[in-house]
Amino acid sequence: MAAVVQQDAHGFGTTLALGQGTAARPIVFSAAGAVPLAQFQAQVRALAAQLPDGHHAINLCEDRERFLVAFAAVALRGQVTLLPPSRAPALIEEELRRHPDSYCLGDVEPQPTPARFLRLPEPLPEHDGAPPLVDDAALAAIGFTSGSTGTPTANPKTWRSLRTSTAQNLVALRDLWPDGVVAHMVATVPPQHMYGLEMSVLLPLLGEVAVHAARPFFPDDVARALADAPAHRLLVTTPVHLRALVESGLGLPPLAGIVSATAPLSRELAAAAEARFDCEVRELFGSTETCVIARRRTACEQAWTPLPGVRLQPQPDGSLVHARHLHAPIALADLVELHADGRFELRGRNADLLEIAGKRASLADLTRQLQAVEGVTDAVVFQLDATDVGSVRRIAALVVAPGRDPAAILQALRGGCDPVFLPRPLRLVARLPRNATGKLPRQELLRMLRDGEG
């Protein structure tokens, strides 16, 4: 199931086929049926001919089939897809200003409508022709970090690097479904996010996987989307969506497996999901900077297994990631402990560690303790930028706990938390500002705390 790469006379890869497998194999499916690879490629050729001039495109498509077609058409046109951390109008306008040679395209006209916007035609046109090919060394996309730890940063990705990382991802998941069949994936994550792009766009594009056109959000929607798949169903999701599914009590069609990423998955939730849905839950570890680099079965494993060709090197302030799909090693803030067999365990993030009055703690552990308090349905602990009179940065918390009192929550937290790490202020809110993948942008947390929302 490796992507097809055309080679020159010297044996070096030069072009990459956008689409893998036979002409009849499904690449996208929905309640209306499946879209075979040949039809998808015909749509890509036709849309590429209609795209405006420019070097960058922002893909705002909400339908995953149309995102896939637009993503491939932009590449066929020799352009690069920009993937802002969200579709907020201000962020879109900022990227359009930063890239004056760019435009937006989508299946639904956003409000307000960007100055340079192309709405995809309905229905999508089709043109016959040769299989669409792109330069293997060309830039495919520029992904941006989520902003959960500060300002989003740009991370360019070539087709060669994405092809290599997609092959690694297939190795990480391939044993979840039988050989010789096409897995049918339902994804709750947006294709604009790097995890969503890797799983629900690149796997169908460069491996023999079909993806549902929709992005279901509520448990009922997920169940209906999975029912549209003929067999060998793979659910790609996040801990937030997975918890909602487990707590909903809904039955799901038989699953080949569940894949989770974007936020830490607790062993308790992974085990509950495995028992509830009778399949393996496989957690992936990665980042926008590195793509997916490791996997584990969280219900029964603490250590992560690096994907083929990936090696982590501990550093005083984090770790260095070496991988075949990376042009050079990339530094992460994650502190790791290596096992002799190459597996590793996460020991927090350098920026996550706290030291106050000679005592140490981590924001992640404090958040887990707060989320475990009775009546708390969601919570986050974070450190403020400003310092107090002792030059110590204060710790704050936003908590979703209907009917609970902040003082009672703090009292419950005292049982397992040193008083110097108790969050003050602790503010009750109606919901946390989680984005489409469950992450919490730092600027949104600070804004909610400042404005007293909730």
CATH number, residue 254: 3.40.50.12780
- Among 131, 125, 134, 122, smallest CA distance to 46 is for 125
pLDDT at residue number 415: 77
Tell me the average confidence (pLDDT) per consecutive run of 10 residues in the chain, 454 residues long: 51 78 96 97 97 95 96 97 84 88 93 90 94 95 72 87 96 93 95 94 94 95 97 94 93 97 91 97 95 97 96 91 94 91 85 67 84 89 72 83 91 84 90 83 87 62
407 and 284 share one domain = no
Q: CA angle 56-57-59, nearest 5°?
A: 155
Residue 18 CA neighbour count, 13 Å, CB half: 28
374 and 316 share one domain = no
pLDDT at residue number 414: 86
Domain count, the chain: 2
Range of the domain at 372: 357-451
Q: Which residues pair with 141 in a beta bridge?
A: 81, 157
State which of 319, 347, 375 marks the end of a domain: 347
Is residue 352 assigned to a domain? no
Q: CA-based Rg of the chain, rounded to a whole angstrom? A: 23
pLDDT at residue number 185: 98
73 and 210 share one domain = yes
Q: CA angle 236-240-242, nearest 5°?
A: 50
pLDDT at residue number 350: 65
Round to whole Å and give the CA distance between 30 and 20. Answer: 20
pLDDT at residue number 1: 45
Query: Is there a contact between 235 and 211 (Cβ–Cβ < 8 Å)?
Result: no
pTM of the model: 0.83
Single-letter code of the amino acid located at 418: D
Residue 371 CA neighbour count, 13 Å, CB half: 13
State which of 294, 324, 347 marks the end of a domain: 347
Cα dihedral 357/361/364/369 (nearest 10): -100
342 and 398 share one domain = no
- Among 271, 204, 220, smallest CA distance to 1 is for 204
pLDDT at residue number 300: 96
287 and 367 share one domain = no
Question: For the chain, how many residues are written?
Answer: 454
pLDDT at residue number 56: 96
pLDDT digits (tens, 9 = 90+) for 130-147: 999 999 999 999 998 765
173 and 282 share one domain = yes
